Amino acid sequence: MLAGKRIVLGITGGIAAYKAVDLCRRLVDAGAHVVPVMTAGAEHFLGRTTLSALASEPVQTSLWNEASPIPHTRLGQSADLIVVAPATARLLAAYAAGLSSDLLTNTLLATRAPVVVCPAMHTEMWEHPAVQANIATLRSRGVHIVEPEAGRLAGGDTGTGRLAAPERILAAIVRVLSGGDLAGTHVVVSAGGTREPIDAVRVIANRSSGKQGYAIAAEASARGAQVTLVSTVDLAVPFGVTVLAVETAAQMEAALTGLAPAADVVVMAAAVADFRPVAAVPGKIKKDQGVPQIVLEPTPDILAGLGATKPAGQVLVGFAAETSDLLVHAAAKLQRKHLDLIVANDVAAPGVGFQHDTNAVTLLGADGTTRTVALADKRAIAKAVLDTVVEIRGRDQPPHPPLPTS
């Protein structure tokens, strides 16, 4: 994933510095050559020995005590990427202002490599206009910002400011360095099961967790796509993904109908309810009123609608969750709804589909190709799906015009 990439890992003086240990390990495991650079403040929270043992080189801290007479230029010029995690308000201010007071800030100014900055601080500091102005300045210069998450902070209070999870930072680094075979494309993904109200309390729902849709969104983002995720569930948002929250089939239809015409790829991973009450009861149906008579009607067939209006060149992917005759039902759905690819899974099989972190699928293409992916984690399934999407896009691209002859 990051094999052979030289990454400078900058650590500044915040309580979240301990998370840099996990990030360092993940980077090394992904094949990167990691060079840690710590500020004086970082050493109050983290010892050099720990990072030196995990990284590819010993920790560097000073402009003056290193083997190289100009360590900042050596680090900056040789880096494929620099990541600062955590980045304090002080680091953000110094970097935005072009101040070079230590090895890390000098290295940041001496590089032309991409830079990923991961702020971490208390909510009041993060929301301060000066900090937000510095973030805006850095963004305008092309610096990639992995924004902090909401949660419990040092001191026991709760708010936005917690350092992004190491896996999210890693995903951001992979995306920045990969370029990606989906770069320049807009991918729309749906995820989760819709909920159709019976009354103010009860709904008709299904067992979809949304995990497979989120995995596809994360994989598409890592491959360089602009990703919009239409979701009914509240899961951690993958880096670089824009989420549009919906609940009902009607809301999902409206969202996808608006997004699909301009999308290069649409992946309909959501489990949309097939039926809904004709009318939801206002308020709560009381038990002492007896068993209610609930009249159902079909929900809109969103996927069929997308297939009927699919613009030229767009790749449309559907899912078929079945409990019997998997390939027969999937092939019929593929043809009936004018799809380019359908992802079929037997949700009655152990470890497959709803609520699980794993899946096993068969991919059926409109050209008759079939690919089976054995039980694997949902990110691996997402990779297989998008590998096939890239192949379809490659086949559908118009041939290059012949070179002019003299």
Instruction: Respond yes or no on whether the N-terminal peptide bond of residue 292 is cis (omega within 30° of 0).
Output: no
Tokens 């489990």 correspond to 271
Residues 6+ apart with CB under 8 A from 374: 360
Query: Tokens for 115?
Result: 């830079």
Q: Which residues contact 111 (CB under 8 A, 6 or more apart)?
A: 8, 75, 76, 77, 79, 82
Residue from 65, 106, 206, 359 carrying the catalytic annotation: 206
Q: Beta-carbon neighbour count of residue 338 at 10 Å?
A: 16
- Give the whole-angstrom CA distance, residue 40 versus residue 36: 13
Residue pointed to by tokens 């110094």: 94
134 is a catalytic site residue: no
**Residue 267, token pair as written in the block:** 């992946």
* Cβ pair 62, 107 in contact under 8 A: no
SS3 371: strand
Determine the residue type at 129: P
Token pair for 227: 């990703």
Handedness of CA 195, 197, 201, 205 (dihedral sign): negative
Bridge partners, residue 163, by sequence:
none
Which residues is 321 bridged to in the sheet? 345
Angstrom distance (rounded) from CA 337 to CA 366? 11
Beta strand 115-119 pairing with 81-87: parallel
Decide: 328 and 322 in contact? Cβ < 8 Å: no
Residues with a catalytic annotation lie at 206
